[in-house]
Every structure is written in C-alpha cells, then in structure tokens.
Amino acid sequence: MSASATRDATKFVAIDILADFIFFPVWWYTAGFVRALRMAGSWFRDTRRMFGLGIWIKNIFVPMFAQYDIWGRVISFIVRLANIIGRALALLIVALIILALLLVYLALPLLLAWLIVTKLFAVMSA
C-alpha cells in the first residue's frame, strides 16, 4: 500500500511540475504582464506626484514671495518655467526607464530560451 501511495505522490508531483513548466510562458505574458503593467503605472503615478508637475504648471503665473511688481512676476515666471522643464524632463526619463524595464520583462523568457537552446546545441556538438 505504501509503494502505491509513494508512486501516486511522485506521479502527482511530476505532473504538477510539468504543468507549471508548460503554463509558465502563458502566465508570464498574460497575468504576469498585467501585474507588471500595474506596477509600472503605480511607479509612474507616484513619481508624477512626487515631482508635482501639475502644481507647478497651475501656479506658473503666480508671483513668488508676494512680489507683485513686474520684475517679481518676470523672475517668478522664468524660475517656474525652468523648474517645469526640468521636472518634465526628469519625468520623461523615468517614463523611458519604465518602458525599457517592461521591454526587458517581455524579452527575458525569450532570451533565456535562446541561451538554453544554444548552450544545448553547443554541448551536443562538442
């Protein structure tokens, strides 16, 4: 009886491992990619909030330090415009990094499969 139970357990584990191995690419490119997209969106949203670009744009014409004369307004506009440009460029860099990481996520299983296949052929031909 125990030999039969051991054989059944081994068979179950082997089938489970094989099913996980076959199902992995399906999960990676469907549910896993959706999870990666959500994480990337959350990262971008948090970064956008951290930079506060919308607040800077909203207050671009408001004088800084209550300097309501013409030079106070001009200097405030120039400083805020420079700040908006710098923050927008930083946000663009973060967006490009996120996009690059998503592309790496998509390419990683293909790269690993290619490396495994080329290594197997190199070992078999030697």
Contact present, 53 and 89 (Cβ < 8 Å): no
E strands, the chain, are: none
pLDDT at 111: 94
pLDDT tens for 68-121 read 899 989 999 999 999 999 999 999 999 999 999 999 999 999 999 899 899 888
pLDDT tens for 1-33 read 577 888 888 888 888 888 888 899 999 999 999
**Rounded Cα–Cα distance for residues 105 and 74 (Å):** 46
Dihedral-angle region of residue 67 (phi above 0 means left; psi in -120 to 50 means alpha; beta otherwise)? beta
The ranges assigned to domains in the chain are 24-121
Which pTM does this prediction carry? Answer: 0.80
Backbone φ and ψ for 51, nearest 5 degrees, come out as -75, -25
